[in-house]
Amino acid sequence: MSNRLVSLIILVMATHSVCLIDLTSEQLQKLVISMGEPAYRAKQLLSGIYRRLAFSFNEMTDLPASFREKLQHKVSLHSLTMVEEMTSRDGTIKTLFSLADGSTIEATLMPYPAQGGRTHHTTCVSTQVGCPIGCPFCATGQQGFERNLTPGEIIDQVLYFARKLKDRGSGSIDNIVFMGMGEPLANYDALWQAIEMLNSPDGFRLAARSMTISTAGLVPQIDRLSKANLQVGLAISLHASNNALRDKLVPLNRRYPLEQLIPAVREYFRRTGRRPSFEYILFDRINDSPEDAHALAELLSGLTCHVNLIPANPTGSADFQPPAHGRVLAFQREVKSLGITCTLRRRKGIDIAAGCGQLRSRLLKSGRPTTKKKGVAL
């Protein structure tokens, strides 16, 4: 764990009790022993948190009442409070959470009906409060950057939706995409600790290949990820196939232009054998012409990858509108005809403005307070 991450966790804990999901398995065991309990109690706590999705210590009936009382006085179990929640006609749930310091973040649960009547659930998770990248089409990008999330604050978004699904009897979390508020790779250490716990046999037990990290193109961190020991997916927020346009749409491109980004992704595939994906949001008359499609295919030529085309979510900005459906299909046909695997992503939650940062932006503009009470409302 980096010194910077340790300092952040200490800062959050300075005014609030230790949150158990901020701890690794080893740290949790040390905490349990320091409280005068046998080491195996840590395993019981992990099971209660990640397998049984306990909302309170009182639900962990396999723990002695005396230990539960000590826990209630010394530590907290969760770090989020639900502030507002909206459900779309398509079943997408968008939730605004308050953190212990009063900051707010968003997360989303998206259902996808599958064959055999089963519904798969993907949760889209935030990794920062605000975002440092500043993409002009993104509501979060226009909010500025406040701070990184701790590992527990990342994990808790997943646990919230997992508990909601459990209580409804409607399934479980099948996939996690780190595509919410923030640039995930700019918070690498906390993100990776969260991923390890979500993957761990002692934790949430979700396969690494069921998790995907999205990045605007932090080249050094892509290199670091290519050497990591878990088979986590990588998605690149591309949105343009030339530097002039990408400089405007994704300002990080000025630091890591396409001449650095694409070779880094090629090297990632060479080292890992994992096929990267490219997210390409289509904006009307900005990056959706046949010439743009041809340039995109040329940029990715020879790279084993997948392109996800995403018609822009309406944000109220006249500058960044989704193209007409026929124009979207024409773009897809052109890219596929040039040998690039390309699919059109289904947009979810349009009727509740489920795009990244939109719910939080509305709250910030309203001037309403962002906190309710300590803990997490499930």
The region, left, alpha or beta by phi > 0 then psi within -120 to 50, assigned to residue 223 is alpha
**How big is the chain by its Cα radius of gyration, in Å?**
21
Question: Cα separation of 159 and 46, whole Å?
Answer: 13
Pairing of strands 175-178, 119-124: parallel
- Whether 304 and 310 have beta carbons less than 8 Å apart is answered as no
Burial class (CB in 10 A: 0-12, 13-18, 19+), 15: exposed
User: Pick the catalytic residue: 84, 106, 153, 183?
Assistant: 106
SS3 37: coil
DSSP 261-306: HHHHHHHHHHHH-PPPEEEEEE-TTTS-SHHHHHHHHHHTTT---E
Question: Cα separation of 351 and 339, whole Å?
Answer: 34
Cα angle value 268/231/7 (rounded, 5°): 90
DSSP classification of residue 350: G
* 259 in active site: no
* 153 in active site: no
Positions marked catalytic: 106, 356
